[in-house]
Chains A and B, each alone.
Chain A
Amino acid sequence: ETTVTQSPASLSMAIGEKVTIRCITSTDIDDDMNWYQQKPGEPPKLLISEGNTLRPGVPSRFSSSGYGTDFVFTIENMLSEDVADYYCLQSDNLFTFGSGTKLEIK
């Protein structure tokens, strides 16, 4: 079983700041990491899929990097509409979500 450790659990950032979220996996998953945004009352939205691939229609201020066991999700120039919960998902060895990061405005 592959476990995923996501940090931090919460973030308070000012508009325009850079946001960084990290996920570490217990096994090597190549680049089989995905990143989701979830707003209250809505299902999660896939922002970035395996291979650090930005999904169509997702703003370019969202990006990710990483390979193997260490992965980083970044929001450049945070906007108010980015307030949400963010999750990583490994899809190499079955599927495991990270525990989530709650992003708020400072």
Chain B
Amino acid sequence: EVQLQQSGTVLARPGASVKMSCKASGYTFTSYWMHWVKQRPGQGLEWIGAIYPGNSDTSYNQKFKGKAKLTAVTSTSTAYMELSSLTNEDSAVYYCTRSLLRGGFAYWGQGTLVTVSA
């Protein structure tokens, strides 16, 4: 069974950085792209970017270049996303999600809530 377990709620100050994790199990971590999706309270879904752990190749939504940095550690089957220079606009739930071989994000973590507040 594919499972994605995300790290817990984060409270951060404006201007700070945060790094969250997504531990994968139940499949070959290096064979599928891992994506990250943002959802602000009461708002829609935004694709942030993705990483292919097999070779650390990354792809980003232009909007999040410079804001998000995606990495992965294959020995622990864990993907990470670091968000920098936080503002109130970064307060959101962030999901990691694994795609199917052909499109579609089929498996989702439970989400990490990031709250940015002074």
A→B interface (CB under 8 Å): 1, 32, 34, 36, 38, 43-46, 49-51, 55, 87, 89, 91-92, 94-100
Contacts and interface: CB of A to CB of B under 8 A. Distances in A.
Contact of B47 (A49, A55, A95, A100): A95
A70 to B, nearest CB: 18
Contacts of B80: none
Contacts of A49: 100, 102-104, 106
Contacts of B62: 1
Looking at chain B's contact residues, the main secondary structure is: strand
Nearest to B4: A43
B104 A89 contact: yes
A94 B59 contact: yes
A50 B50 CA distance: 18
Interface residues of B, number: 22
Nearest to B48: A95
24 contacts: A1-B62, A34-B104, A34-B105, A43-B97, A43-B109, A44-B95, A44-B105, A49-B102, A50-B102, A55-B106, A89-B45, A89-B105, A91-B103, A91-B104, A94-B47, A94-B59, A94-B61, A95-B35, A95-B50, A97-B44, A97-B45, A97-B47, A99-B44, A100-B44
B110 interface: yes
B93 to A, nearest CB: 9
